[in-house]
Structure 1
Amino acid sequence: MMPLEPVVLSFGAVLLLGLGFGSGPCNIACLPYLGPVFVATGSGPRNAWRILLPFTAGRLTGYTLLGTGAGLLGLIVQEWIAAPWVRWLLGAATVVVALSLLWRRRHRGGGCVTDPASATPTRVAPPEIRMTNGVATGASPGATSGQAQALLPGGLFLMGAGMALNPCAPLTTVILAAATSGSASAGLLLGFGFGSGAVLVPTLVFALGVAHFGQQLTQHMNRWGSALEHASVGLLLLMGMGTALGWIAP
């Protein structure tokens, strides 16, 4: 193996590098995957953490593991993340999220879609959120809906990890710096620092902007709520299959 040219980056440098990446390309890359989830669930800013927490945890875990692995294995990691399995992971996770949303809707009962049509508009979107939050309290879906609830965070976590494992120019620089450090602990700090910066801005954008838009869209288009949810799930399925097959590059 050719000796690596030394690349030295501090924790602060990779944090700023992650902030720059997260402020631009990352938001664009995440939007087609996370946007439909917010529209399908109608989750507003108060409940956005239920979607963003597992997704962000997956991304942060992915970046940290990449840095740690690079410190141990060097440029082998760069070749490893360029393999097709990375897009298969992201594609499969996206399909899992789509199916869990579809499963949740199917076992929710459907009354909250048809009955509120004649009621006041303000009660249309909240039942979706409250029923989602209150599944564990003994609502009608029972254990089956609880399984769907458990499936969604897991899919979001794997989706976030798949996003993190996709190579990009800033991440390549971090991996090279971690590899030339020759230390797993140094690589872990570099990966964690880059990931912390990369997830900060997108988390704020999605928690305050996209979540609010998804909630408003659900409330103001309640008559087409079912169609919106099905369209969002369909878009996620297309994104997942397209990513897995290499037609869509995140």
Structure 2
Amino acid sequence: MPEALIGNLPTQLDWFGVWLLGLSMGLTACTITCLPFLGSWVLGRGLSARAAFVDTTVFLLGRVSAYTVLGGIAGALGGWLAAALEAHAGQIAIGVAAALAGLWLLRPTTAHAPCGPAKRGDRLPPFALGFALSLAPCAPLAALLAACALSGEMLAGAAYGAWFGVGAAVTPLVFVVPLVGLSGRKLLVGRPRLAAWLRRGAGALLIALGLRRLLLLV
């Protein structure tokens, strides 16, 4: 993490400032970066708008959880975590999570009705995607980790991270992703055989997105 960035930050970041920092993430980079991953997942599952909203909420919970953990680690260990993320640890996590989500869609199973209860484990991929995508290094995250490191306390860092995540959860994804699910559902009306191909295509796309992240590191 650049020393200049740390030097310009106060030792105590006010709560509104932390929330605004997260909001700047949620309204900009979050939507652009996350939509291909979450949109592919929702489209592949053939979800209704309501079910897609539930998966989006789980995805955002993964993000809030990640920022809470990151803030706590930064508060306890200082600048080590930022250095690890800059060394591509975050990109590796994103690649692995996306590939596993794609494999989840490709596994041999009978798709459940979108409006019915979710099968065991179906919430894990969107949560993992949300958690992993939060590890990608960016300016707002770097500023958060610098403030958490300066706090010197794990609990204070975790609290900062959680509040940052609440701000980042204010994102157009909560509207856009259900629309993607609704479009997918309309596409399947009268075309029951298309569901399997849509699921396989989305699974393959997620695997390709994951592998692309990993191959760029080679």
- For the aligned pair, the TM-score class normalised by the smaller chain equals 0.7 to 0.9
- Which is higher, the Rg of structure 1 or of structure 2? 1
- 1:64 aligned partner: 68
After superposition, the C-alpha distances for 1:181-216 in whole angstroms (9 at most, x for unaligned) are 222222112111111111221442345433333333
User: What is the CA-CA distance between 1:29 and the residue it aligns to?
Assistant: 0.2
Is 1:108 matched up with 2:78? no
User: What is the CA-CA distance between 1:180 and the residue it aligns to?
Assistant: 1.3
TM-score between both structures, scaled by the size of structure 2: 0.85
Distance 1:167 1:44, change over 3 A: same
Is 1:52 matched up with 2:56? yes
Give the alignment of 1:38-187 within 5 angstroms: 38-103=42-107, 106-108=108-110, 128-130=113-115, 133=116, 149-150=120-121, 152-187=122-157
Structure 1: segments with no counterpart, 5+ residues? 110-126, 136-145
Counterparts of 1:108 and 1:209, CA distance in 2? 24
Counterparts of 1:77 and 1:88, CA distance in 2? 15
Contact 2:18 2:164 in 1 (8 A): yes
SS in 1 for 2:189: helix
Is 1:32 matched up with 2:36? yes
Residues paired across the two proteins, number: 212
- 1:112 aligned partner: none
Output the aligned Cα RMSD.
2.5
- 1:141 aligned partner: none
After superposition, the C-alpha distances for 1:110-133 in whole angstroms (9 at most, x for unaligned) are xxxxxxxxxxxxxxxxx7415xx3
Counterparts of 1:6 and 1:71, CA distance in 2? 17
Contact 1:39 1:218 in 2 (8 A): no
Counterparts of 1:192 and 1:186, CA distance in 2? 10
More helix by share: 1
SS in 2 for 1:200: coil
Q: Which of 146, 156, 162 is matched with 1:192 structurally?
A: 162
